Amino acid sequence: MILATLVDACGNDPSFVCEQMHRVTHNDTAAQIADAIAGAPLHIALILVFAWLTRRLLRKAIDRFVERLIRRREATEVSAEQEARGVFAKIQLKAAQTVEEIHQRSTRSKERALTLGAVLRGVATFVVATVAILLILGELDVSLGPLLAGAGVAGLAFGFGAQSLVRDVLAGIFVLTEDQYGVGDIVDLGDANGVVEHVSLRTTQLRDVQGALWTVPNGEIKRVCNRSQIWSRAVLDVQVAYSTDLDHAMSVIRTVIDDVWREQPEDATIIEQPEIWGLEQFGDNALVIRVVLKTEPSQQWTTARIVRARLKKAFDESGIEIPFPQRDVWLRGSDEAP
């Protein structure tokens, strides 16, 4: 009799709450009410609580990730600032300008990290909310088969059609988190090179030396050459004639590069004492002496131009020949008139 009434009250597959309430009260109505209260509504409430906890944990994890990125940027900033103050101890204005540039780069990196954190938090919230909604619909006895099948087909079509977009976005995330380059950096991305004007999760825009604007999908970037990170180097191969006294030529070169180093022009800042590496090679028409100058980021080209101009003037004053290709031509002819 009890089993028959249990089936009448709770059905052929009674829930734990309905069965226990019926056994305690022996009342069909009380069992049905308890089942209605503790059934789907309780499950939905638990799903919402679990979704809220999951979202909160994910947001905390993302915030910690962003904080680690910012701390790493701050540590790099402090190191670069100390180095700049040490290098330009005698040039207070230049030191202040360099420190300001370092602060600007650090601020830019922090803003990108915060932006990336906001994007990741939005994605996490969307995923958690989608899963929670599907679970709640299941508790309300909504058939999820057609919905999941349609979503699967749509996801498959989207995956095939937007796989390049997904690749670009993933590559953009790594560009931002690893700080491979930023706005204002001079980079070489393979087919395109120039000054970075804009960086997003999907594309990077460069302005080349001719003024053309290149838009490169991040997923197409296979390797990055950044010529504006921390410091740069100007490498000059100075050619002199074979008849030149190498010791005298190196002495003149040393005087010129040391003068530039002491003067520290505004756009040609040398951060270490210049080096002469010596005779680099025997060329077809000249001896090649290699000179190396460590400069501020992106200033290697200006520094090299200034040094070349001064070397030309110093070589002229010292009588050192700057060779050029020469060729001997032999003319042969007949003594008899045609």
pLDDT digits (tens, 9 = 90+) for 185-198: 889 998 888 999 88
Read off the pTM: 0.60
Interatomic CA distance for residues 8 and 19, integer angstroms? 11
- In the prediction, which pLDDT does 156 show? 65
Non-local (6+) Cβ contacts of 25 within 8 A are: 31
For the cut 50, the answer to whether the pLDDT of residue 40 exceeds it is yes
Interatomic CA distance for residues 299 and 236, integer angstroms? 14
Interatomic CA distance for residues 305 and 301, integer angstroms? 6
Q: 67-81, 111-125, 252-266: lowest mean pLDDT where?
A: 67-81
- At 202, give phi and psi (nearest 5°): -105, -40
Between 243 and 85, the higher pLDDT residue = 243
What percent of the chain shows pLDDT beyond 90? 22
When the pLDDT of each residue in the chain is averaged and rounded to a whole number, the result is 78
CB contact at 8 A, 298 and 228: yes
Span 63-72, mean pLDDT?
80
Q: Among 97, 245, 220, 222, which Cα is nearest to 169's? A: 220
Rounded to the nearest 10 degrees, the angle between the axes of helix 2-10 and helix 28-38 is: 40
For the cut 50, the answer to whether the pLDDT of residue 1 exceeds it is no
- In the prediction, which pLDDT does 329 show? 76
- Per DSSP, the three-state class of 196 is strand
Question: Cα angle vertex 283, ends 279, 285, to 5°?
Answer: 120
Q: Residue 193: which region, alpha, beta or left (left: phi > 0; alpha: psi -120 to 50)?
A: beta
Parallel, antiparallel, or unpaired: how do β-strands 275-282 and 287-295 relate? Answer: antiparallel
Q: Can you list the positions of beta strands (E) in 26-137?
A: none
pLDDT band for position 275 (cuts 50, 70, 90): very high
Residue 212 is classified by DSSP as: P
Of the ranges 16-25, 80-89, 132-141, the best mean pLDDT one: 132-141
pLDDT band for position 33 (cuts 50, 70, 90): low
End-to-end CA distance of the chain, in Å?
141
pLDDT digits (tens, 9 = 90+) for 144-179: 677 667 767 766 666 666 778 888 888 888 887 777
Q: Residue 135: which region, alpha, beta or left (left: phi > 0; alpha: psi -120 to 50)?
A: alpha
Query: For residue 145, which amino acid is it?
Result: G
pLDDT band for position 2 (cuts 50, 70, 90): very low
Tokens for 242, please give them. 């074979």
Interatomic CA distance for residues 236 and 115, integer angstroms? 41
CB contact at 8 A, 158 and 151: no
